[in-house]
Structure 1
Amino acid sequence: MTKKIIFLLSIFMAFCSLHAQGKAEKAITTFFEKYPQEKIHLVFNKNSFVAGENLWFKSFVFDGYNLSSISTSMFVEMYDSNNSQISKEIVPLLNGQGSGSFTLSENLKEGVYYIRAYTTWMSNFSEDFQAFRQIIVYNPSSPEKVVLNDASQWTASVFPESGTLVEGINTKCAVRLQSKGITPSEWSGYVVDAAKPDVKISTFKGFDQNVGAFSLTPKAGVQYQLIINDSKGNRKVIDLPAVSGSGINLQVSTGNDAVKFSLKSKNIAPGTVYKVIGTIGSQIVFKVNSDKILEKTYSIPADQLINGILQLTVFDEKESIIARRLIFVQPGLLKIKKPEIQSMKLNESPRALNSFSINPEQNNNAYTVMVLDGSSENPEDENSFLSTLWLTGDIASKIYKPSQYFTPVRNNEALDALLISEVWKRFDWRTIMSDRFPLINYQPQPYISYKGKVSIQGKPASNAELNLMFEIPEYGSKLLQIKTDDKGFFALKGLLFEDTIKFSYQLNDPKIPAEQVQVIFQPDYSFVPLKKPLPESNYILIQRQSEDQLSETVKRYVATKNTQSNIDEKATLIEEVKLKAKKKDLTKELNEKLSSPLFKSMNETIFDFVNGNNSTNGYMNILQWLQGRVPGLTIESSRGSSIPRFRGSTINVYLDEMLLDPSQINTIPVSDIAMVKVIKGYFSGGFGGGNGAIAIYTKRGGTTGSLSDFAASTKLKKSIMHGFDKEISFVSPNYNDQNFSKISQDSRTTLYWNPYIEAETKDQTGIQFFNNDEAKNFKIIIMGFDTKDYVPIYYNEIVQ
C-alpha cells in the first residue's frame, strides 16, 4: 500500500526520542499502516459539451503522493443536478491509471452535470474525498439555458493562524471568501475596534477570489471587526474571534530551504512540556517533545521532505490539541519534471499535419497526451493534475481555480493563507487517539471478480469440480477447471477483459445430468450509492428566450458534432492515434499471438525464446532455467520434481494455458519452448489463485490449450460475464487520405487525445495530428508520473 516517501528527521534526535510512543504516535502509525488514502485526478478532453457528443476522460489514482497499487478498478458515474444518476461505468486501473468515455444522449437537457469517480477502497471513507467534476452540457432545443451565476451573494470568514488570538502576540489572519456563485475578483478590507469604527488598525487587499490576509497584534477586551468591500459596492462586517488573555500561538513560515516554526506564548508557566508532531498525509515526518519548546525556533530541512501539505499539531502534556497549522512544503520550488519534447513540427495551415516526439523517461511507464486548438478551453485550467495531487485531493472545501497555486506565476502567499483557513480532515486526531478507526465495509477486488454457487437439484455441490469453457474471439475456446468449497461456492478473481465473455459450464462428473446442475454467477463488486449532495455549481438555469442567440462556443460544438459523424464514417485510425499508441516489438507481438486475454496481466515478466537472446544451452528443465531470473521466484526440488514458489507460496504451471503438473515439465524439450511468462498475483486464467503462475508456450502454442471440439460447448448451459466498459475510440481525420477531402468544415477543439501512450524505453514516442480549419496555435498537455522520485511529469503550454 502506501510507500514511505519521507523520513523522520535525524537532526531532531538530540532533543526528542522518536521511539517514545504516545497515544498520538501509536494512533497515526496504525492509521498510516491500515488506512491508506486514495485520491483521483480526472481530466476530460474538454469541460463543456453539446448533447450528443462523446466525453473522454483519463484518471490518475494516487495513494498519498504516489500512483496507487491498492485499487485495480474505478467506478465512474454521471449525475444531473438533481442527484439522479444518468450513466455509470467501471474501468480498469493499470499502474494507477485508467481511461474511459461516455456518450452524452441527444436528449440531455441543457444544464450542469457531474462526473463522480471512486474506488472500492475509497468507499470506506468520506465521500468528500471522492472525485467530483462538473461539466456543462448545452442543448439549443432545451427550454432553459445555463448561465454563470454572477449575482449570488458571498460570505467571508476570518481564521487566525493556529486558531486563536492571544493578547500581545502578533498574529497572521486569513480571510476566506465563499459563495454559491462567483466570488469577487477585486476586494479589500480593514480591521477596526468595534468601539472605534473610524480608525483602521490593519488593511489588506484580497490575493485572489479565495483568500486574503492581514496581521494583527490583539488586545484583551477589545472586540475587533473586519470590514470587506468588493468592486461592486458590496460590504460585509465580520466579528473576529475573542482575544484570549493567555495561550499558545503556533507561527510558521515556509521557504525553499526549510519550514520554520515557533510557539509564542502568553501567561504560560515555564517548563511546561509540549509535543509537536508533523505529518504529511498520515505519515509522521517530524516530532519534538520538550519542556524548552517555548524558547526555540525550529527548522525542518525542506530537502528531506516532498512537495505537499505538512500538518503541524501541538499537544500538551495530556495530549490534548492546543494548536495546529497546515503549510505547503517548498511552494517556491515545485519538483516537476518536464517531458523532453523534440522534433516539433507545427503548421498553422488548415488541415496541415503536425508532429512532435517525447524522449523516454526512465521511471515513467506511460504518458497522457492531448492537443487542443489554442483558442479553446483548457480542461486543466480549473483543477489541474498538480493541484489535485498537492491540494484538492486532500482538501475537500470549495476552492476557486485551485490550479492557480501551482503555475509558474503562482502567489505563494495566497496558498499559505488558504491553508491557514483549512483543517486537515483525512483523519481526526481525537477520534483515532480514542481507537475509533474507519469501519472497513469494502475490500478492493483484483480487477473484475465474480462469485458463484453450484447446486445440484437445489442442493449445494460441495467440493465439486466445474468445467468452464470460455468462447473468446480470435482465440477459440478455453477450458478451465475450478473447485467449489464445502458449501458449493467458488470465486473468479482478476478478470481483465472488456465488454462480455460467453461461456458454458458443466460439472466434471458424467454421472450427474447437466439439467440437474445450476450455476449462479454474481459480480463480486458493486457501485456504491451516492449519499451526500452534489457540489454547488457556479452556474444556474434561466428561461431561454426566443430571441436568444447561441454563443460562439455552442455554435462551434454543434458544428463539430454534425461533422464528426462524417469523420467517423470515413476515418481509418492512423497508427499514431490508436488508443494504445506504441511501436510493437517482436516480443510483444509474440505475446499477443500466443496469450489469450485470460493469461494477460499488467504484472508479468516475459522470456522470449524466438526473438530474444535467451540461451537455454545446458538446461534440461525450463523451471531450473528460470531460477534466479525473476525476483521472488524460487524453484525447489522434491522427489525429482521442480516446485515453483513465489515469495514462499506454491504457484501453478500452465502449458499452452492448460494446467500442468510440475512433474511433467521434464518431458518438455526446452528447444520446443517459444515463450515463458511469470505472472505475479491475480490473473484471469488463475480463477481464484492469487499467487500467480508460470505460463509456458511451445512453438506450437496457441492451439494446444484450445478445445478440439468447438461444437461441444454448444450442448452445455451457457452464460455471460460482463467485464469492464469498452472505451469509445477517439477518431481524428487523416487529411493525407483523399476520403476526407469532402469534409466541409473542421472546427474540432480537441485535435489529439491519447490517454495511455506507453513510454518507450529506447525510442522516442512520436505524436502526429492534423490541424482543424482555424487553429493558429496549440495547447499541448502531457502528463505522467515518476514513480521513483514521486514527482509529477507535466507539460501544459501554448505553442505556435
Structure 2
Amino acid sequence: MSIHLFKRMAVVLTLAAATFAYTQNKAEEALTKFQENYPQEKIHLLFNKDHYVAGENLWFKSFVFEGYNRSNISTTLFVELYDSSKKLLDKKMIPLLKGEGSGSFSLASTLKEDVYFIRAYTTWMTNFSEDFNYLQPIAVYNPASTQKLVADTDKAWSATVHPESGTFVEGIDTKFAVRLHSSGSASSNWNGYVTDSENPDLPVAKFNGFDQNVGLFNLKPQAGKNYQLTVQDEKGKKISIDLPTAVSSGLHLQVESTEKAVKYTIKSKNISTENQPYKILGTINNTLVYKAIIHKLNDAQSASIPADKLINGVLRLTIFDNKENVVAERLCFVQPQTLHIKKPNLDTDLKSEERTKNLINIGKADDFEGYSVAVADAESSTSEEENSLLSSLWLTGDLSTRITKPAQYFVKDSNPQALDALLISEKWKRFEWFSIIAGNYPFIKNKPESYISYKGKVLAQGKPATNSELNLIFTMPDSGTKFHQIKTDASGLFTLNNLVFEDTMSFSYQLNSSDKAVAGSTQVYFQPAFSFVPLRKDLPNSLMMLTDRIQGEEIPAKVAKSVSTLTFDKFINEKITDIEEVKIKVDRKNKTNKLNEELSSPLFKSMNEMVFDFVNDNNMIGGNNILQWLQGRVPGLQISTNGPNTSATMRGGPVDIFLNEMRVDPSQISMISVPDVAMIKVIRGFFAASPGGGGNGAILIYTKRGGITGSVSDNGQSKSLKEMKLKGYDKEEPFNNTIYVNIDQKSLTKDTRSTLYWNPYLPKDTKESTTVQFYNNDDAKAYKVIIIGFDEQDNLLYYNEIVK
C-alpha cells in the first residue's frame, strides 16, 4: 500500500464526498439503507442496589441509546420482572424523555430466595433480535426461605479459540483469543499452552488468562502441522481443543489500537489476482467512518486511521474481495485508555459521624441538563460494578454473547490487552454483511407510538357512531379537569395520542346528538396501542445456585444488613405516615376554621358545635336529603317524615334548623341543591340564637357564596355522563432522601442502609453549584458516588468513585 494511498485514506475521514474507483459499492449502499431505516436501540439500567431482600423496593434509572447517543426513537420503556422459571411477576411502563426514565418494583415479602431477572425493551426493539433486550439477573434474599443462594463454582466450563480476523495462514504470525464459557462463576486463575501433534510434550506457546473471560497467545503455523490447545484451571481441570488447520494461501488482518491511531496490517500469502482489488470498510455503530481500496496486495501492507478522527467505541474493520465477499474481519476498541467522558468538579463536606448530614456540591458544568445521582456506603457493592453504563454503551449493548463482569474493561487501570482479546473473540451481530448486501433487512411490524396512545370505538344504539362528535371530560391527576372534543371516522373510530399520565386517568364522555335516545345509548370501547411482548427466549443461566438452608445458620453479613434496613425503613415509613396524617388533619382543621370564620357570625358560634366542611373535605352527600345524611353522623339526631312534613329531634326534643343563619322549616331543606352546600354545623345543647333558648341545639346549614373556594372542586359535570378509566404509566415509589428530617433520631433502631441517596432526576442549579444532600448511616466512613449526566450535544458525564 503506497504512501499516496495512505494520505487518501486519511482524507476520507474528513471528506464524506470522497469517491473511489471500485467496481462494487453494494456494501456501502446496503449499509446506508440499514443505518437510515433500521437504527438500533440499546438499554442500560442503573439500580439503587445490586441485591435485595424480599419486601424491599427496587429502584432503577433507565437510559435508552441509539448508538452512542440518547434515543429519540422511543418514548416508552417496558420493564418486566421474572422469576427463575420465567414466570412474569410484575411489569412496568415507563415514560422516556430524551431516552431517560425511572421507576420501581415493590418486591413481595413472600418472594422466595432466588435469582430473578429484569428485562427491559422498547416497542422499536421488538422488531429485532431478542438477544439485544436488556436482561439482568437480580439476587433476592429471604432468610425465611428453605433454600439459600450461593455462588455456583462447580458448573462445567468450556473454551473456544478464535484467530485474529478469522483467518489462519501458514507462515503468518497470528494472535489467538481463548474465550472461557461457563453457566456458573468462571475462574480468573487459568492458563493454557499449545502443542503440535509431532511433539505433544513440548509447548510451542504458553499464556495466562487475563480475567474470567479471555486469554491470548501468538502462533506462527508451519505447513503440515496440526496444533492443539490445552486449557486448565486452578483446580487442575483440563480441556483440549484442536486449532483450525492453517491454510497455504489467504489473507490476514492484524490490528493495533493505540492512543494516536488504529493501525492495521494486511498480510497475505499466495493470493490470486482474480479477487483483486480489495476494499476495507470501517464502521462504528453501523456508520461508515473509513474506506480504502487496495488495488494490489503485497505480502504485508500497513496503514493508520488517526484516532482523533474517530470516537470511543467498537470499530469493525472488514475486508471485501472484488465480488464483495467478506474475507477477513476484526473488531477493536478505539482509544481504550482514553475514554472521552466528562468528570464533575466536586466540592464535598463529608463526615464520618453516624446519622449526620453530608454535602456534595457538583460544580457548574457547561450545558449539562441535570444529573442521575446515587450514593452508597463504600463497603457495599453497586450495580455498576458488574455491568456499568459504559460497558452497556460500548460493549454488551451491541454484543449478544455473555461477558462476565464487563464493567472491568472501562475502569481506571484496566488492561487494554484484555479488551482487545475479548473483541478478537467477538462477532458484530447487529447485521451480517452478506444479508444486507443481498437485500435482506429486518421486517418492521411494530412502530413506536409517541408516549401513550389509545384507539377508541363509539357505538350508539348498537351501531358505529360514524362522523360524530364525542365530548370527553378528563380528570387528570394533579392537573384538574380538561375538556376535549374528538370526531369519529366513517367507522366510528378515533385515536387519543401523545398522552402522558401516571396511574389512571378518569374521564367522562357524551355524544353530541340532539336525539336523547342516541346520546343515552352511547358506548365507548378503548384498546391500547401499546403492549408488552412476551419473552420467547430462555432465561440465561445464573452465576448463583440454590442449596438447602441449615436451620439456625448465620446469614451473610450483607443480607443481615439488608434485613435490618428493611425493618428500619418500615419504622421510618410508619413515622412519616403518622406525621403526614397529623399535618393533613391540622391543615384541614385550619382551613375549616377559616371557613367557619367566613360564614358564621358571633351569635351562631358555640363551644359545642360539630362542623362538616364541604369545601375542603371530601364529604360526599349521597342523594339530595341533607338531613338524612346527617342522621347517620350525628349521635342522637332523629329525622321523621310524615308526608310533606319533616321534623328533626335530638335526644327527644325538637331541633331548630337555620339556613344561612335564618330559621326555616325542615321541609324546606329538601329544596337545597346538594352541590351548593358549603358547611353544616350541629350545635348540641343550649343555643342562644334559637327562640326561647334552644335547649335541644340546632342545625346550621350554609350555602356556597362568591369567593368561597377549597381543595374540593365541583366542575359542574353532568351526572348523566358515563365514566371510564384509562391505564397510564406506572407510578414510581418515592425514595426518602430526607430520612432524618422531622424524626427523632433517638427513637430509631440501628441504621444499616447501603443506599444513602438516590435521585434519578437531580435538576441542575443554573446559578450555583448543584447540591447533593444525604444522611450517613451508623457505620460509613467513605462513600461510593455515582453521577451521570448529558449535555445538549449528548456528551456524557460519568463519575463512579469512592470519596472520603
TM tier, smaller: 0.7 to 0.9
Name 1:558's counterpart in structure 2. 563
Q: Is the alpha carbon distance of 1:19 and 1:121 closer, same or farther for their aligned partners in structure 2, counting shifts above 3 Å?
A: farther
- Among candidates 60, 63, 68, match of residue 63 of structure 2: 60
Output aligned runs, 1:141-156, within 5 Å: 141-156=144-159
Output aligned runs, 1:462-481, within 5 Å: 462-481=466-485
Q: Is the alpha carbon distance of 1:415 and 1:737 closer, same or farther for their aligned partners in structure 2, counting shifts above 3 Å?
A: same
Output aligned runs, 1:496-515, within 5 Å: 496-513=500-517, 514-515=519-520
Name 1:332's counterpart in structure 2. 337
- Among candidates 533, 539, 544, match of residue 549 of structure 2: 544
1:86 is the counterpart of 2:89? yes
1:441 is the counterpart of 2:445? yes
Contact 1:12 1:287 in 2 (8 A): no
Output aligned runs, 1:415-434, within 5 Å: 415-434=419-438
Contact 1:372 1:778 in 2 (8 A): yes
Q: Provide the rounded CA distance (Å) in 1 between the counterparts of 2:23 and 2:145.
A: 65
1:31 is the counterpart of 2:24? no
Name 1:588's counterpart in structure 2. none
Name 1:345's counterpart in structure 2. 349
What's the CA shift for 1:740? Answer: 4.0
What's the CA shift for 1:13? Answer: 8.7
Q: Provide the rounded CA distance (Å) in 2 between the counterparts of 1:135 and 1:506.
A: 48
CA deviations on 1:455-480 (whole Å, 9 max, x unpaired) are: 12222222211110012355432111
What's the CA shift for 1:546? Answer: 1.6
- Among candidates 494, 498, 508, match of residue 490 of structure 1: 494
- Segments of structure 2 that go 5 or more residues without pairing to the other structure are 1-9, 580-707
Name 1:242's counterpart in structure 2. 245
What's the CA shift for 1:16? Answer: 5.5
What's the CA shift for 1:155? Answer: 0.8
- Root mean square deviation of aligned Cα: 2.2
1:522 is the counterpart of 2:531? no
- Among candidates 92, 97, 101, match of residue 104 of structure 2: 101
CA deviations on 1:558-599 (whole Å, 9 max, x unpaired) are: 11101101111234999xxxxxxxxxxxxxxxxxxxxxxxxx
Contact 2:476 2:501 in 1 (8 A): no
What's the CA shift for 1:708? Answer: 11
Matched letter for residue 302 of structure 2: T
Name 1:183's counterpart in structure 2. 186
Q: Is the alpha carbon distance of 1:547 and 1:741 closer, same or farther for their aligned partners in structure 2, counting shifts above 3 Å?
A: closer
1:194 is the counterpart of 2:209? no
Name 2:459's counterpart in structure 1. 455
SS at match of 1:417: helix
CA deviations on 1:273-321 (whole Å, 9 max, x unpaired) are: 1111111111111111231354631211111111000101111111111
Of residues 473-482 and 385-394 in structure 1, the stretch that sits farther from structure 2 once superposed is: 473-482
Name 2:228's counterpart in structure 1. 225
Name 2:788's counterpart in structure 1. 783
Name 1:715's counterpart in structure 2. 720
- Among candidates 244, 255, 267, match of residue 258 of structure 2: 255
CA deviations on 1:172-221 (whole Å, 9 max, x unpaired) are: 11000010111111111111102211111111111111101011111232
1:739 is the counterpart of 2:725? no
What's the CA shift for 1:14? Answer: 12
Contact 1:9 1:304 in 2 (8 A): no
What's the CA shift for 1:361? Answer: 2.8
1:750 is the counterpart of 2:755? yes
Share of identical aligned residues, percent? 51
Q: Is the alpha carbon distance of 1:779 and 1:79 closer, same or farther for their aligned partners in structure 2, counting shifts above 3 Å?
A: same
Q: Provide the rounded CA distance (Å) in 1 between the counterparts of 2:153 and 2:296.
A: 52
Q: Provide the rounded CA distance (Å) in 2 between the counterparts of 1:544 and 1:722.
A: 42
CA deviations on 1:42-76 (whole Å, 9 max, x unpaired) are: 11111111100000001111000000110011000
Contact 1:74 1:92 in 2 (8 A): yes
Name 2:141's counterpart in structure 1. 138
Name 1:3's counterpart in structure 2. none
Contact 2:23 2:322 in 1 (8 A): no
Output aligned runs, 1:63-74, within 5 Å: 63-74=66-77
Name 1:674's counterpart in structure 2. none
Of residues 345-354 and 266-275 in structure 1, the stretch that sits farther from structure 2 once superposed is: 266-275
Q: Provide the rounded CA distance (Å) in 1 between the counterparts of 2:730 and 2:86.
A: 22
Matched letter for residue 432 of structure 1: I
What's the CA shift for 1:87? Answer: 0.3
CA deviations on 1:156-179 (whole Å, 9 max, x unpaired) are: 111000112100111111000010
CA deviations on 1:115-148 (whole Å, 9 max, x unpaired) are: 0000000111111111111111111111111111
- Among candidates 119, 133, 138, match of residue 122 of structure 2: 119
Q: Provide the rounded CA distance (Å) in 2 between the counterparts of 1:19 and 1:100.
A: 52
SS at match of 1:198: coil
TM-score (norm 1): 0.80
1:285 is the counterpart of 2:289? yes
Q: Provide the rounded CA distance (Å) in 2 between the counterparts of 1:134 and 1:338.
A: 29
Contact 1:386 1:792 in 2 (8 A): no
Contact 2:14 2:309 in 1 (8 A): no
Name 1:604's counterpart in structure 2. none
TM-score (norm 2): 0.80
CA deviations on 1:654-704 (whole Å, 9 max, x unpaired) are: xxxxxxxxxxxxxxxxxxxxxxxxxxxxxxxxxxxxxxxxxxxxxxxxx9x
- Among candidates 198, 209, 212, match of residue 209 of structure 1: 212
CA deviations on 1:346-381 (whole Å, 9 max, x unpaired) are: 010010110111123333312110110111112210
Of residues 480-489 and 113-122 in structure 1, the stretch that sits farther from structure 2 once superposed is: 480-489
SS at match of 1:526: coil
Name 1:568's counterpart in structure 2. 573
Of residues 445-454 and 475-484 in structure 1, the stretch that sits farther from structure 2 once superposed is: 475-484
Name 1:767's counterpart in structure 2. 772
Q: Is the alpha carbon distance of 1:501 and 1:740 closer, same or farther for their aligned partners in structure 2, counting shifts above 3 Å?
A: farther
Q: Provide the rounded CA distance (Å) in 2 between the counterparts of 1:709 and 1:764.
A: 44
How many residues are treated as equivalent by the alignment?
661
Name 1:170's counterpart in structure 2. 173
Matched letter for residue 139 of structure 1: N
Q: Is the alpha carbon distance of 1:549 and 1:380 closer, same or farther for their aligned partners in structure 2, counting shifts above 3 Å?
A: same
SS at match of 1:241: coil
Q: Is the alpha carbon distance of 1:188 and 1:520 closer, same or farther for their aligned partners in structure 2, counting shifts above 3 Å?
A: same
Q: Is the alpha carbon distance of 1:274 and 1:15 closer, same or farther for their aligned partners in structure 2, counting shifts above 3 Å?
A: farther
Name 2:20's counterpart in structure 1. 17
1:310 is the counterpart of 2:321? no
Q: Work out which of the two has the higher radius of gyration on C-alpha atoms and give 1 or 2.
A: 2
Q: Provide the rounded CA distance (Å) in 2 between the counterparts of 1:542 and 1:249.
A: 49
Q: Provide the rounded CA distance (Å) in 2 between the counterparts of 1:306 and 1:401.
A: 23
What's the CA shift for 1:748? Answer: 0.5
Q: Provide the rounded CA distance (Å) in 2 between the counterparts of 1:13 and 1:101.
A: 45
SS at match of 1:440: coil
Q: Is the alpha carbon distance of 1:12 and 1:176 closer, same or farther for their aligned partners in structure 2, counting shifts above 3 Å?
A: farther
1:274 is the counterpart of 2:284? no
Matched letter for residue 552 of structure 1: A
Q: Provide the rounded CA distance (Å) in 1 between the counterparts of 2:143 and 2:125.
A: 38
Name 2:640's counterpart in structure 1. none
Of residues 272-281 and 109-118 in structure 1, the stretch that sits farther from structure 2 once superposed is: 272-281
Contact 1:567 1:732 in 2 (8 A): no
CA deviations on 1:583-640 (whole Å, 9 max, x unpaired) are: xxxxxxxxxxxxxxxxxxxxxxxxxxxxxxxxxxxxxxxxxxxxxxxxxxxxxxxxxx
What's the CA shift for 1:745? Answer: 1.4
Contact 1:573 1:732 in 2 (8 A): no
Matched letter for residue 166 of structure 1: V
Q: Is the alpha carbon distance of 1:81 and 1:13 closer, same or farther for their aligned partners in structure 2, counting shifts above 3 Å?
A: closer
Matched letter for residue 130 of structure 2: E
What's the CA shift for 1:12? Answer: 8.4
Moved over 4 A (4+): 10-16, 18-21
